[in-house]
Structures are given as C-alpha cells and as structure tokens.
Amino acid sequence: MKISLPDIRFLSFSAFASFGTYFCMYAFRKPFTVATFEDLDFIGVDYKILLILSQVLGYMVSKFIGIKLISELKANRRLGYLIGMILLAEIGLVAFGIVPAPYNIVFMFINGLSLGMIWGIVFSYLEGRKFTEILGVALCSSFIVSSGAVKSVGLLILNEMQFSENWMPAVTGAFFLIPFLSFALLLERIPRPTKRDIALRSERKPMTKENRKKLVRSFFLPIVLLVFFYTCLTALRDFRDNFSREIWDSVGYQGDASIYTLSEIPIAIVVLISLGSLSFVKQNEKAFLYYHYVLVLGVLTLGLNTFLFQLQLISPLVWMILTGFGLYICYVPFNGIFFDRMIAVFRINGNAGFLIYIADAFGYLGSMVVLLYKNFGQGDLSWLKFFMNVTYIVAALGIVICVVSLLYFKSKYKKVRMPPEPQIHIV
C-alpha cells in the first residue's frame, strides 16, 4: 500500500487529534490510583479498592448503556457528548474532594459513568478506513502512555504542590480540561470516510435493534469466547494499572514517579509498530487471521515472561515491560481494530462500536470480580504474587480461546462464501 502526501497529512492530523483527546481523558480517570489512602477502610473493604470498584462499576454501567447508545450514535451528536461527559467527570472529581471519605465514594461512580462513553465516541471518528489500524493503535497507545503519565502528574501534585489525596484527582483533571476541549474540536475536523474507504472496509452505519440481534445470532460462539477472553484481559490490565504503585513498590521502585511513564513508553512504541503494520495488509480475511496469531504471541509472552521472572532470570523492570507488551498486544485489538476487520471481512451491516461495548461491559464486570476476590478471598496474598498468579491463568485460557476462534472464523468464511473483496488500487 502506497502512502501519498495527503494520506500522511490525514494520518498525522487524525492520530494527533484522537491521541490527544483520549490522553487528556485519562487525567480525569486514573490519577487517584497513585494515592495509597493508607489505613482507610469501609464496611470491611479497603477504601482504595472501594474507590476503584465504584469507578469501575460506573464504567461498566456506562458500557452496557453504550451497547445501544454508541451503536446508534449519529455523527452530528458526537462533539456534544464528548464535552458533556468530560465536564460531568470533572464535577464528580470536585465533589469527591469536597465530601469527606468514605461518603465521597459515590462520586467516583459518577466519574466512571461519564468517562465510559468517551472511547466509543472517539473511535467512531476512525473506524471504517483503510488506515484504521494505524489510527486505532495510535489511539490505543494513548491509554498505554497516558495511564503512567497522569499518575506521574498526580504524584507530583501530591508531593510538590501538597494537595490532599482527595483533591489531587480534581486538580489533575483541571490542568487537562482546556487541552481536552481543544483536541475534541480537532476531532470534529477529521474528514468523513471516503468512497475508497467504504469500498475497502464497508460503510459504517448506526445500528438498529434487529441489526444487533442478527449479528449476535450469526457469531454467537466466537463472541462469547472472545468476550470472555477480553474480560480476563481487562481484569488483568486494570489490576496492573490500578495497583501499579503497589507492584512497583514491592519490586524496589518506591517513590520513583518517573517509572510509571518510562516503563510504558517502549510498550506503546512496540505495540504501535506491531499492530499498525497490519494496516498494510489489504486483504481483510488475511489481516483478521493475523490478529489471531498476534493474540497467541501476546498470551505466550505473558506466561513465559512471568515464569522467567519467577526464576529470577530477568529483572523486575524487564518483566513489567514484557508483561505490559504481552497484555497490550492482546488488549488493544479488542478496542476496535479487531472488530473493524471482522465487520469488513463478513460485510456486516453496522459498526465496531456495538462489539466494542459488549466486550467492554463484561470486561469491567470481570475487573470488579477480580478486585472483590482479591479483597475477600486472597486478602493475605501480596499484590505482586496475586498479579503473577492471574497472569498465568489468563495466558492459559487465552491460548485455548484464540485457537478455537481462529478455527471457527476460518470455517465460517468458507461456509458463507463471501464474494471477492474489491480490487482497488490504493495510492
């Protein structure tokens, strides 16, 4: 696939706008996790776990609502939703700072409820294009880098500006409010998919209830298996993200604010290059199969890398970076580009947002289950040991599910006898 100068301009502008929007969103979501909230609990549960559960519950409810809302979303309403959701999230954080613990827990739910819609809105600007892989991975790299970056900012606000742990999230969000609004306005200027994009990837349309039912009936088995796998990935990814301070502290990086950012940068770069290169695979069926091979590579990396760390054959830094790579090389495709190719392969009448939000809804439900299990079932187990155990489980389940999904889709493609994909010269 040749890339022309207009393509480069489009890619640069679109990647900049989408990356910036979602990067700034994380400043409203993740800074509170860098606080420890030591010696606080409520109804027998660690206070920080309750905060994370409250936000994740809001996120999960938002994703279930988004299955309908995002799949039906029209282009002319996207900007209004973006601005409204981010303002509601910041209001929730301000209320969190005003109301004393533990009664402020409810405002973290409001924060998660509003932020859960933003991913689907942002990705809707990017799907159904010949360069969706590149744009999608660039967007996904934002949450790999931003999660660490905003934690670094949050820790600096705690240590240098001397704000309390309750006020630090709202202050961090306030710093990023104007940048978020600026990037959101840039998103609105991204051109609509061209006729060439539509010919290559199929037209993306708002879905009806009947469209959604038909899609689930047609692909029920792989949807169930892949959503379960993604649920496991989300639980692991959220645990690593939310308790990164506890994990880093346990391996000797206490008080190092830079480690949260520096350790994630190489992960983002490698994942971006690896998945973005699939944009140059023009044949949708072939690219869709390649995604399955990438998923197998990721889960193998998760399991083998943790085993080597347990044997003390690699350092904690190398282990965290490789674990992050294995996790995100699996996690990122399910945030849009995997389903984008699936829709293109089978010429599905709809959009990727529907499948993304099904996966996300159950993904965050799984994240809540893991947190509750850690608190009530494995309370005496260290954060580090618990994380390692879950890594092994996800790796084992992932290999089985990815192989079954690969075989299913190969068989399905042959049975439905899809017409040849359009032969378009791409310049």
Query: Taking the domains of the chain in order of start, what are their residue ranges?
Result: 5-416
pLDDT average, residue stretch 402-414:
91
Amino acid at 398: G
What's the pLDDT tens digit per position in 252-282?
Answer: 888 776 787 788 888 888 988 888 888 888 8
Binned at pLDDT 50, 70 and 90, residue 378 comes out as low
Residue 22: is its pLDDT beyond 70?
A: yes
State the CATH architecture for 5-416: Up-down Bundle (1.20)
Q: Which residue has the tokens 């998945």?
A: 275
With pLDDT > 70 as the criterion, what percentage of the chain qualifies? 96
Percentage of residues of the chain with pLDDT beyond 90: 51
Residues 6+ apart with CB under 8 A from 263: 148, 317, 320, 321, 324
Asked if pLDDT for residue 423 goes beyond 50, the answer is no
pLDDT over threshold 60, residue 425: no
Taking the C-alpha atoms of residue 268 and residue 274, their distance in angstroms, rounded to an integer, is: 10
Instruction: Evaluate the CA torsion angle 328, 56, 108, 40 in order and state its sign.
Output: negative
Exposure string (b/e) for 231-255, b if CB count within 10 Å is 16 or more?
bbbbbbbbbbbbbbbbbbbbeebee
User: Could you give the CA distance from residue 146 to residue 370 in angstroms, rounded to a whole number?
Assistant: 23
Range in 1-10, 173-182, 317-326, 340-349 with the lowest mean pLDDT:
1-10
Q: Whole-model pTM above 0.85? A: no
- For 71, 329, 357, the CA distances from 68, given in Å and listed in that order, are 5, 27, 9
Position 418 scores a pLDDT of 54
Query: Over 70: is that where the pLDDT of 421 sits?
Result: no
Does residue 2 surpass a pLDDT of 70? no
The count of C-alpha atoms lying within 13 angstroms of the C-alpha of 198, restricted to the half-sphere facing its C-beta, is: 9
> So what's the pLDDT on residue 314?
93
